[in-house]
Structure 1
């Protein structure tokens, strides 16, 4: 066996050497970059992020509250909770509304026991378990009161997956009135699937509500902060914008199920949860316990955008529920009783328009304004400097256009500089797409949002999609795209190198047309490995760990190397981008004083290229190449191998304006060449 392995290894080395020699012997492909003829500035928000609460992206993901259904307000009131069974089985328990904390928090857990013991209580399962780390601190809090009997306290315990104790605390001093009690838990071991156990001490009745277990280690150490490893992955992309909260979340299955931003601000404990519209969308990924707590709400989204240096891009409902579901429409007319305080009982389009106007005031208004005061009260007196909003998510047809027009007119009348993102629907072509594009250009929409999910080869074949778009018309927002290895919404889809490399090829077309395509974002962004509905996704995580896919690192290379000015790049003999599976784009980075050339070699063989830098002067002697390459197009990163394929940096010699380089097989390469025109 050992001899066979040696022979195979030797054969592999010879083959690689032969391929490299062939690449060197073949005439290099000559590309010309006009360094002295920049086309236009690169939009600084060109590559950004699309966030939607799908795949447990918020609760159970970016928002790190560990208790599921902490306030018992979901229709299935005991979702996530189970009564303990044992020697001291509870005499009774129920979700009650008898003298609740408030009108908005009108459900709580009432439990009674006539026999004291260690099993008189409940456990909370968390989000596919609770991820806790040894020695870290977790703040436990609960609203509680004592009823009839002699309940003297509450025992709080973190248990491992086999029931082993990890941390515990004791709450005393319960009274007959609602009070908040807190304790800090420090686990003695790390566990990805822990659970929280609450038991009463003594006999009688006790009421519990707003049960929380929140890590102290959050981004920025904020009390209601976000999961730091996931925020760091976002920040490392250097995103130009953050689109939120979705996605179909914006629309809802019905208008009652739509995302209403006003319900997601203010006191976190007072925010009303709602079943997530993705919980039953896919029968083969049935997730009935998926809901939105709105602990991550619009204030936190704005704050996140600020933290990672991205422009906020909120998307608002245009008076239409998801057209794949109910297709419910809000009537176009005046809503009776509509005022600045919020929507009427039966909302019309005016309700949705007013919500948009109020949101802009919330984001940008002075602290003396109605909604600006709400922002200031949450700890951000300064405006968020909102510059753009989206009107509708992925709507199509005449129903959308007849709502978009008055919506846009009203927003522009009050905020003329606010840029508006419109929708071309879910498909990148067809009659509805064409009609929407023509009408939205006629209405002088600032951006048209185009979406495309397709097989990997579609992305390579459509690299020239924007080459012939009008250069002075409405800008394009490539708001949702991802290559599908098996098919749209197929559970077998993989985040493999074939898809990522094809996306890199397509993105050279976006960058070459950055005077038309002003924004672009991969979608979806996040997915929990135990609770996803859709695949592929950019970032995967479990309760403790996370990783960027190979697609993530392609996005990162574009985001970190977007430059400041577009440069013309010509392939050999004036060929179109993508000819012979060679893809290229180029920018100048005036800040760094470098020329940046991006090259995709979608070929199993190495490829020699010569980059002619026309008009370049004072070039440095050493360039840097950032390279992702794999002979295996099925290569993927994973929780076990999070960096199996990531960019590697190598140096190369620059001997003049004709720069020679050999591209690895199946590779995406970013060449950074020092020098100014």
Structure 2
């Protein structure tokens, strides 16, 4: 019977259906609003951030200059330089590795007396420039003895026309930072920055930077405001950072090392991004990590939007899909020390080494770190061996820190089974399950956790997304079919909130001109951004999280695919409301009657929020960012029964006041 229901749902999701000949009888459901099943974790619905698809540099990190410190593997990548200037030595890139190992390169410009010299930065697939916006330019520079070189800084639009300018006149023989601000007179979707040198002599320049004035909270070295606002609007319970596979690196030398991402931005060591050449069909040779967005900024962002921080650290293993490199167990100490020091950085007193650095960076108060991930998507006995050592060291010093542990890259199979069995025997805190699969998989697994062992570890649904064309297929789209399947699956996560304590879609962000992986929750170009239908599914769950799960049944069964309907219910003690979520995966209307038990009365009207489309292939876009987005209206209620007709292929949220 269950298999028949799933097959029917698959057929309907594929768009093959028949119109019923007669009106359907309503489906009768019961909500037992007086029977609290389990509290909902405050962290339940969160976000997973990884620097993939130009998510950080070129994305949420608002820096507009690419390769600002000449540290890319090709030192002048991103810069247009006159060919004769390179060949005749008018520009040189010097390497001072012994003196400044974290930022060794800088550019030396030699100016003859009779002409100017210019370099142009292309930005990250261009620079998004807004008319009337103030832009803040800065660089480090020093003049050689006898030099008198000044800079003219100019914004160029898509056609190369000047749309804003200022001048900078460095005047010292030692490295100093110079700043200037100016406004753009016109907009550009793919602008550029031109720096013109004039005068005579030799000048050294480094960290050439341009930020819009309007960043998130107007911070210098800040974040792109529209993208952060989309995250804040989700009201996430946590932010998992910095990834993902970049935690591991293709090799250990390129793993993510948090200590190199804090402190003065000028001293943060750039490395290649592991997504630079991961996919031949989406190669991105100019993809590096400047770490202007580092661990301090991640913690700060978490605090800004009310989310608990969840950092993930390398456990001495590179990506097993790539190099399978591991550090010897007897050489794990530096990796473990990084974990211990991170807790001190986040929570330590300002008199401690790392707590003092946090305070110096502008945040004396602790960040209240409560959990940490050990490894990303590792598997096998080598992971268990390293996790065990990490857990002993961390729990010994910080017993209250909860550890998130990998169950590998898939939700089943030998790798999953081995880790699931082994880590349960080791009394692990939280197990991280990942699922990238078809919409059909999500429908058939909505009841996955109904029968899980309640005595073991908690579950983190750490990475999931419905892939309509198959995993690692560049043709995947964030269409309504994928979002609807995820909404159905999430009823099972919410219904089992005693076991599933966190969940996050992945990946989070993607630049329309620089992505490597699809689908993704939020898409953007240099000026605009939009939430996908999947984004609005996440938002409806997170904004209607409630405080406690209550049973919703059809007869004696939970509602998980019968008649193509999926459902879950919570109460919100803060507002005194019952919150019902209903998903119809069929191509036909589903009339429902929901009898509410365990209450004295319910309000005569409530709120109905609907999300849906009559086209399963429907999409949002930069041109039509809210084509598929929630709509809200009132719903009338008679007695203690809520009646509604769930439209085909729809997600409904009903909120109604109750008196228990």
Structures share fold, TM-score greater than 0.5: yes
Which residue does the alignment assign to 1:640? 623
- Please state how far the C-alpha of 1:200 moved relative to its aligned partner: 1.0
Residue 542 of structure 2: which of 548, 559, 575 is its match?
559
Whole-angstrom CA distance in 1 between matches of 2:462 and 2:76: 38
Which residue does the alignment assign to 1:5? none
Correspondences of 1:143-154 after superposition (within 5 Å): 143-147=140-144, 150-154=147-151
Residue 297 of structure 1: which of 279, 294, 297 is its match?
294
- Please state how far the C-alpha of 1:138 moved relative to its aligned partner: 1.0
Which residue does the alignment assign to 1:448? 431
TM-score (norm 1): 0.92
Whole-angstrom CA distance in 1 between matches of 2:150 and 2:542: 53
Tell me, which stretches of 5 or more residues in structure 2 are unaligned? 1-17
Residue 203 of structure 2: which of 196, 202, 206 is its match?
206
- Please state how far the C-alpha of 1:349 moved relative to its aligned partner: 1.4
Which residue does the alignment assign to 1:331? 328
CA contact (8 A) 2:130 2:188 kept: yes
Q: Does 1:385 align with 2:368?
A: yes
Which residue does the alignment assign to 1:108? 106
Q: Does 1:528 align with 2:511?
A: yes
Correspondences of 1:272-287 after superposition (within 5 Å): 272-287=269-284
Judged with a 3 Å threshold, the aligned counterparts in structure 2 of structure 1 residues 89 and 625 are, in CA distance, closer, same or farther, namely: same
CA contact (8 A) 1:88 1:117 kept: no
CA contact (8 A) 1:88 1:115 kept: no
Which residue does the alignment assign to 2:306? 309
- Please state how far the C-alpha of 1:270 moved relative to its aligned partner: 1.1
Correspondences of 1:373-452 after superposition (within 5 Å): 373-452=356-435
Whole-angstrom CA distance in 1 between matches of 2:98 and 2:409: 44
Which residue does the alignment assign to 1:74? 72
Which residue does the alignment assign to 2:351? 368
Deviations 1:631-655 (A, max 9, x none): 1001110000000010100111111
Judged with a 3 Å threshold, the aligned counterparts in structure 2 of structure 1 residues 197 and 597 are, in CA distance, closer, same or farther, namely: same
Which residue does the alignment assign to 1:6? none
Which residue does the alignment assign to 2:657? 674
- Please state how far the C-alpha of 1:102 moved relative to its aligned partner: 4.0
Q: Does 1:132 align with 2:115?
A: no
Which residue does the alignment assign to 1:92? 90
Whole-angstrom CA distance in 2 between matches of 1:87 and 1:528: 33
Which residue does the alignment assign to 1:54? 52
Residue 194 of structure 1: which of 188, 191, 195 is its match?
191
Whole-angstrom CA distance in 2 between matches of 1:288 and 1:116: 37
Which residue does the alignment assign to 2:4? none
- Please state how far the C-alpha of 1:143 moved relative to its aligned partner: 1.2
Residue 27 of structure 1: which of 25, 28, 35 is its match?
25
Which residue does the alignment assign to 1:542? 525
Whole-angstrom CA distance in 2 between matches of 1:402 and 1:178: 48
Whole-angstrom CA distance in 2 between matches of 1:575 and 1:538: 29
- Please state how far the C-alpha of 1:375 moved relative to its aligned partner: 0.6
Whole-angstrom CA distance in 1 between matches of 2:387 and 2:101: 36
Whole-angstrom CA distance in 1 between matches of 2:633 and 2:91: 65
Judged with a 3 Å threshold, the aligned counterparts in structure 2 of structure 1 residues 96 and 552 are, in CA distance, closer, same or farther, namely: same
CA contact (8 A) 1:92 1:112 kept: yes
Whole-angstrom CA distance in 1 between matches of 2:63 and 2:422: 44
Which residue does the alignment assign to 1:626? 609
User: Residue 515 of structure 1 aligns to a residue in which SS?
Assistant: coil
- Please state how far the C-alpha of 1:150 moved relative to its aligned partner: 4.8
RMSD: 1.9
Judged with a 3 Å threshold, the aligned counterparts in structure 2 of structure 1 residues 101 and 402 are, in CA distance, closer, same or farther, namely: closer
User: Residue 356 of structure 2 aligns to a residue in which SS?
Assistant: helix
Residue 267 of structure 1: which of 249, 252, 264 is its match?
264
Which residue does the alignment assign to 1:40? 38
CA contact (8 A) 2:33 2:596 kept: yes
User: Residue 202 of structure 1 aligns to a residue in which SS?
Assistant: strand
- Please state how far the C-alpha of 1:550 moved relative to its aligned partner: 0.3
TM-score (norm 2): 0.95
Whole-angstrom CA distance in 1 between matches of 2:544 and 2:21: 30
Deviations 1:587-641 (A, max 9, x none): 0111111101100001111110001111122211111111012110011100000
Residue 589 of structure 2: which of 603, 606, 609 is its match?
606
Whole-angstrom CA distance in 2 between matches of 1:612 and 1:44: 28
Judged with a 3 Å threshold, the aligned counterparts in structure 2 of structure 1 residues 573 and 376 are, in CA distance, closer, same or farther, namely: closer
Q: Does 1:237 align with 2:220?
A: no
- Please state how far the C-alpha of 1:31 moved relative to its aligned partner: 0.9
Judged with a 3 Å threshold, the aligned counterparts in structure 2 of structure 1 residues 174 and 116 are, in CA distance, closer, same or farther, namely: farther
Judged with a 3 Å threshold, the aligned counterparts in structure 2 of structure 1 residues 169 and 86 are, in CA distance, closer, same or farther, namely: farther
User: Residue 382 of structure 2 aligns to a residue in which SS?
Assistant: helix
Which residue does the alignment assign to 1:659? 642
Which residue does the alignment assign to 1:339? none
Whole-angstrom CA distance in 2 between matches of 1:190 and 1:100: 43
CA contact (8 A) 2:147 2:203 kept: no
Tell me, which stretches of 5 or more residues in structure 1 are unaligned? 1-17, 334-347
Q: Does 1:252 align with 2:235?
A: no
Q: Does 1:160 align with 2:157?
A: yes
Which residue does the alignment assign to 1:478? 461
- Please state how far the C-alpha of 1:540 moved relative to its aligned partner: 0.4
- Please state how far the C-alpha of 1:198 moved relative to its aligned partner: 0.9
User: Residue 675 of structure 1 aligns to a residue in which SS?
Assistant: strand
- Please state how far the C-alpha of 1:21 moved relative to its aligned partner: 10
Whole-angstrom CA distance in 2 between matches of 1:476 and 1:596: 23
- Please state how far the C-alpha of 1:19 moved relative to its aligned partner: 7.5
CA contact (8 A) 2:559 2:565 kept: no
Whole-angstrom CA distance in 2 between matches of 1:434 and 1:59: 37
Q: Select between 314-323 and 652-661 the one with higher mean Cα deviation.
A: 652-661
Q: Select between 484-493 and 200-209 the one with higher mean Cα deviation.
A: 200-209
Whole-angstrom CA distance in 1 between matches of 2:36 and 2:144: 75
Which residue does the alignment assign to 1:590? 573
- Please state how far the C-alpha of 1:89 moved relative to its aligned partner: 10
Matched residue count: 643
CA contact (8 A) 1:20 1:606 kept: no
Whole-angstrom CA distance in 1 between matches of 2:635 and 2:559: 27
- Please state how far the C-alpha of 1:285 moved relative to its aligned partner: 0.2
- Please state how far the C-alpha of 1:26 moved relative to its aligned partner: 1.9
- Please state how far the C-alpha of 1:575 moved relative to its aligned partner: 6.3
Which residue does the alignment assign to 2:10? none
CA contact (8 A) 2:149 2:202 kept: no
CA contact (8 A) 1:29 1:572 kept: no
User: Residue 243 of structure 1 aligns to a residue in which SS?
Assistant: strand
Judged with a 3 Å threshold, the aligned counterparts in structure 2 of structure 1 residues 573 and 474 are, in CA distance, closer, same or farther, namely: closer
Whole-angstrom CA distance in 1 between matches of 2:480 and 2:21: 25
User: Residue 337 of structure 2 aligns to a residue in which SS?
Assistant: helix
Whole-angstrom CA distance in 1 between matches of 2:468 and 2:97: 54
